[in-house]
Each structure stands twice: as structure tokens, then as C-alpha cells.
């Protein structure tokens, strides 16, 4: 399906919000849209950069593969957010991979069209500069915290990151709207699958969370924040206000 920027209903989309009405048809002319099933690569580390991606619907993980083959999830992304910006500049090679967590529709803008759009729309350029800075700062803050956290703190932080990224279920405001696999939680936390399983069981026994099969309900969000706040400030994440429909 052809997605036209001038008809977009995503009010927080950077293209929709920060480009002029005159410029949107130009972007639409060159933009493509693709449907992906869950569990496939949108792009892979080492691929040449050909453009920038934006999520129209669905959820995606940004993954760095460590020397021992383990995945480190450096970011979780959802509707309206960009993918692939880490490959811009320098060698024009993606340093990370983007893998769908759910079925997703993702749009693609060729790199030359994207650069022309940024040059012609100063508000877009400034908003992207701030986005890149926030993304880098968040990653650095998280990596520093994980390097000194114990197992409990790491898993608590991973759960808070999922809340921050994807929010709660609209019908059950304490249940995560999307629960990553235990393996993916380990990739977010920078720990092992076995450690995640053990710590989730402990949190469940202490009524901090409730496990129901693969789904996770957050019973005591303030306690999760308290556990990981020593090294990572979660104060910007409001309790119970990240519900995703």
C-alpha cells in the first residue's frame, strides 16, 4: 500500500510534523512501504545504508551482536519512530540490525531524498538532531548503568525499558502491551536467559509482577523503579500513563 505523507494520521511522525505541506508530496513520490512478518530483519549489521526507515505500525528491536554471538538489544522501537539512522555518516554501513518483534508495516525513504528533505526543512533538521542526541544519551546512560548493576537491578531496568517503549495494554492497564521473550529481556538487560527466568520468578513471588504464561503484569511499578533507580533515573517514566491502544 502506498502511504502518502500528506494524508498521514500519525501526528507525531517527524515527517508529518516537521516538513512543510508543499514538501510532503515530494517525499510520498519516492517513499515505499513494506509489510514484514514477526522475526525478520528489516536490515542487518554490515549492510550498506540506502535510506532511512520509519515504522508505520508494529514493534522492532535494534540489535548489536557481541563477539560471543549473544544479542544486545540497544533499543526498542514502535510506531512513528525511525530506524537506520545509526548508519548515517562515515562508512555508510549499518552497525546494528533491526528485527521485527511483531508483524510490522515499515516505510522507506531513499537516502538522497531524505537528505534533500532535511536540507529543505529546518524544523525537521533540528528535530532529528535532538532525536539523535537523545538516542545516543539514552544508550550511553543505559550501558553505563548495566555495567555496574547486579542481576536484580538489570532485570528491573529491562522491564522499565519495555514499559517506557511499549506501554501497557489498553484493556488491562497493568499488563504489558507487548511482552518480549525471556531471551529478548536478557538482551535488553545484558544478562543471561537463566538469570532473567530466575529474577522474574523472584519478582513474582514478591508480588512486584505477576507471571501468566508468557505475559507479564506489573503489580508494583514504583518498586521496580526503586530497584533500578540507584544507577538509572527512571523518574521521567510516569506510573501507569504509557498505555498503548
Looking at the fold, whether 121 and 168 belong to one and the same domain comes out as: no
Q: Are residues 162 and 125 located together in one domain of the fold?
A: no
Q: What is the pLDDT of residue 42?
A: 97
- If asked whether residues 175 and 73 sit together in one domain, one would say no
Identify whether 211 is part of a domain: yes
Q: Are residues 25 and 69 in the same domain?
A: yes
Residues 71-105: tens digit of each pLDDT = 899 999 999 899 998 888 777 899 999 999 999 99
pLDDT score, position 37: 98
pLDDT by residue (tens digit) across 31-65?
A: 999 999 999 999 999 999 999 999 999 999 999 98
Domain CATH number, residue 161 = 1.10.10.10
pLDDT value, residue 242? 43
| Statement to judge: residues 27 and 77 lie in one domain | yes
- Structural domain for 34, as ranges: 5-135
In a domain, 234, yes or no: no
On whether residue 121 sits in a domain, the answer given is: yes
- The span from the CA of 216 to the CA of 210, in Å, is 6
Residue 236 within a domain = no
Whole-number pLDDT of residue 87: 84
Residue 106 and residue 184 share a domain: no
Same domain, 73 and 103: yes
pTM for the model stands at 0.88
Do 12 and 127 sit in the same domain of this protein? yes
Question: In this structure, is residue 11 part of a structural domain?
Answer: yes
The predicted pLDDT at position 236 comes to 45
> Is the domain of 131 the same as that of 23?
yes
By the 8 A CB rule, do 86 and 95 touch? yes
Q: What total number of domains does the chain contain?
A: 2
CA distances from 187 to 69, 131, 151 (A): 11, 23, 13
Tens digit of pLDDT at every position of the chain (245 positions): 566 666 666 767 888 888 888 988 898 889 999 999 999 999 999 999 999 999 999 999 999 988 787 889 999 999 989 999 888 877 789 999 999 999 999 999 999 999 999 999 999 999 989 988 888 888 888 888 888 999 999 999 999 999 999 999 888 889 999 999 999 999 999 999 999 999 999 999 999 999 999 899 999 999 999 998 877 766 544 344 344 44
Residue in this structure with the C-alpha cell 498521514, named with its chain if needed: 8
Amino acid at each position: 500500500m502506498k502511504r502518502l505523507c500528506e494524508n498521514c494520521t500519525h501526528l507525531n511522525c517527524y515527517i508529518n510534523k516537521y516538513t512543510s505541506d508543499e514538501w510532503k508530496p515530494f517525499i510520498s513520490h519516492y517513499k515505499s512501504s513494506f509489510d514484514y512478518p514477526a522475526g525478520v530483519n528489516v536490515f542487518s549489521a554490515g549492510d550498506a545504508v540506502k535510506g532511512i526507515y520509519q515504522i508505520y505500525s508494529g514493534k522492532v528491536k535494534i540489535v548489536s551482536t557481541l563477539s560471543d554471538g549473544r544479542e544486545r538489544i540497544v533499543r526498542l522501537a514502535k510506531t512513528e519512530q525511525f530506524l537506520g539512522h545509526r548508519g548515517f555518516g562515515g562508512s555508510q554501513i549499518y552497525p546494528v540490525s533491526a528485527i521485527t518483534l511483531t508483524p510490522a508495516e515499515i516505510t522507506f525513504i531513499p537516502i538522497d531524498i531524505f537528505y534533500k528533505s532535511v536540507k529543505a526543512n529546518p524544523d525537521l533538521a533540528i528535530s532529528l538532531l535532538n532525536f539523535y542526541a537523545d538516542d545516543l544519551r539514552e544508550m550511553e546512560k543505559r550501558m553505563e548503568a548495566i555495567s555496574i548493576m547486579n542481576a536484580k537491578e538489570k532485570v528491573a531496568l529491562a522491564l522499565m525499558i519495555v514499559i517506557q517503549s511499549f506501554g501497557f495494554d489498553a484493556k488491562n492497564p497493568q499488563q504489558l502491551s507487548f511482552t518480549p521473550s525471556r531471551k529478548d529481556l536478557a538482551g535488553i538487560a545484558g544478562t543471561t536467559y537463566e538469570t532473567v527466568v530466575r529474577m522474574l520468578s523472584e519478582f513474582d513471588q514478591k508480588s512486584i509482577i505477576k507471571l501468566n504464561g508468557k505475559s507479564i503484569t506489573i503489580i508494583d511499578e514504583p518498586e521496580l523503579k526503586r530497584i533500578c533507580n540507584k544507577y538509572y533515573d527512571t523518574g521521567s517514566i510516569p506510573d501507569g500513563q504509557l498505555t498503548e491502544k
